[in-house]
């Protein structure tokens, strides 16, 4: 993405400039995301895009600060989405002995 990624159209027919600067692409065996700095809104925010699905989220400074204050348990819940949603159930995949083997 370039510093000025083009124009969009506002609801009243006016155009606005999308100002976005690519910062990084982060890839591992579990996910691939692109991170950009977007300054098109009321203030700067990060745009995080899932490179496989195209899903995205804008994160404001307040939201980013809250990530830093989150507990390990909070972060553990965040990764239990999509294909990993079923693992929210504490008994999922555990046999009677709690060893992770299904019965």
- 80-90: pLDDT as tens digits: 877 666 655 55
**Cβ–Cβ < 8 Å for 26, 35:** yes
What's the pTM value of the predicted model, to 2 decimals?
0.65
Does residue 97 sit within a domain? Answer: no
Per the structure, the complete domain to which residue 49 belongs is given by 4-88
**Phi and psi for 84 in degrees, rounded to 5?**
-100, 5
* Cβ neighbours of residue 26 closer than 8 Å, sequence gap 6 or more: 32, 33, 34, 35
**Rounded-to-integer distance, Cα 18 and Cα 30, Å:** 30
In a domain, 35, yes or no: yes
- pLDDT, one tens digit for every residue, the chain (103 residues): 334 445 555 556 667 788 999 999 999 998 999 999 999 988 999 999 999 999 999 999 999 999 999 999 998 888 887 766 665 555 555 455 544 444 3
In total, how many domains does the chain have?
1
Q: Is residue 29 a part of any domain in this protein?
A: yes
Q: Which helix (H) or strand (E) holds 33?
A: strand 32-38
* Token duo for residue 75: 């972060």
The 10s digit of each residue's pLDDT in 56-72 is 999 999 999 999 999 99
**Ramachandran sector of residue 75 (left: φ over 0; alpha: ψ -120 to 50; beta: rest):** alpha
* 65 in a structural domain: yes
């Amino acid at each position: 993405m370039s510093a000025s990624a083009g124009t969009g159209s506002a609801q009243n027919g006016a155009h606005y400039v999308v100002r976005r600067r690519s910062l990084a692409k982060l890839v591992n065996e579990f996910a691939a995301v692109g991170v950009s700095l977007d300054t098109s809104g009321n203030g700067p925010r990060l745009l995080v895009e899932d490179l496989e699905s195209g899903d995205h989220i804008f994160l404001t400074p307040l939201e980013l600060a809250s990530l830093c204050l989150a507990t390990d348990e909070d972060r553990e819940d965040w990764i239990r989405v999509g294909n990993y949603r079923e693992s929210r159930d504490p008994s999922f995949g555990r046999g009677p002995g709690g060893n992770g083997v299904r019965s």
